[in-house]
């Protein structure tokens, strides 16, 4: 769009022409921003509305990012707790297996004693 609008200034380097080109580029960027903020709808032309929508969207994205960071921290803490619990259960399992082995050894010894008596 800026090229078509600026063609009337082609070859001219006057301050007014450069200012018009700058405004045209700025307007093109506002139109682009408007179409990004509300895809599928006709772009808004009110610059204040476009900026307001952009601010609202940036704030929403920032809030969502913070929620995701908080959720990530919470999940990382939960992972740590689960790993600690897993380690405790592993230690407890080893202890129970040792006790079971000792009971089995004791039982086998008693069984040999009983079978030796009879």
Q: How far apart are alpha carbons 39 and 31 in whole angstroms?
A: 11
Q: Taking 90 as the threshold, does the pLDDT of residue 115 lie above it?
A: no
Q: Taking 70 as the threshold, does the pLDDT of residue 6 lie above it?
A: no
77: exposed, middle or buried (Cβ count in 10 Å: 0-12, 13-18, 19+): exposed
> Half-sphere exposure (CA, 13 Å, Cβ side) for 5?
14
Domains of the chain are 2-83 (4.10.280)
Q: How far apart are alpha carbons 64 and 54 in whole angstroms?
A: 15
Q: Taking 50 as the threshold, does the pLDDT of residue 1 lie above it?
A: no
Across 6-15, 27-36, 82-91, the highest mean pLDDT is recorded for 82-91
Q: How far apart are alpha carbons 15 and 34 in whole angstroms?
A: 28
> Half-sphere exposure (CA, 13 Å, Cβ side) for 9?
17
Q: Taking 70 as the threshold, does the pLDDT of residue 86 lie above it?
A: yes
User: Quick one: average pLDDT of 37-65?
Assistant: 92
Q: Taking 50 as the threshold, does the pLDDT of residue 2 lie above it?
A: no
pTM: 0.61
**Cα angle value 34/46/50 (rounded, 5°):** 35
Average pLDDT over all residues of the chain: 90
């Amino acid at each position: 769009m800026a090229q078509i609008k600026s063609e009337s200034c082609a070859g001219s380097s006057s301050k007014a022409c450069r200012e018009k080109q700058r405004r045209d580029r700025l307007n093109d960027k506002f139109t682009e921003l408007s179409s990004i903020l509300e895809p599928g709808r006709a772009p808004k032309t009110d610059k204040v509305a476009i900026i307001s929508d952009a601010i609202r969207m940036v704030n929403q994205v920032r809030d969502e990012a913070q929620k995701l960071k908080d959720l990530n921290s919470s999940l990382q803490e939960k992972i740590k707790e689960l790993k600690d619990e897993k380690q405790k259960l592993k230690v407890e399992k080893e202890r129970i297996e040792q006790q079971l082995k000792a009971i089995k050894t004791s039982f086998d010894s008693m069984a040999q004693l009983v079978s030796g008596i009879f």
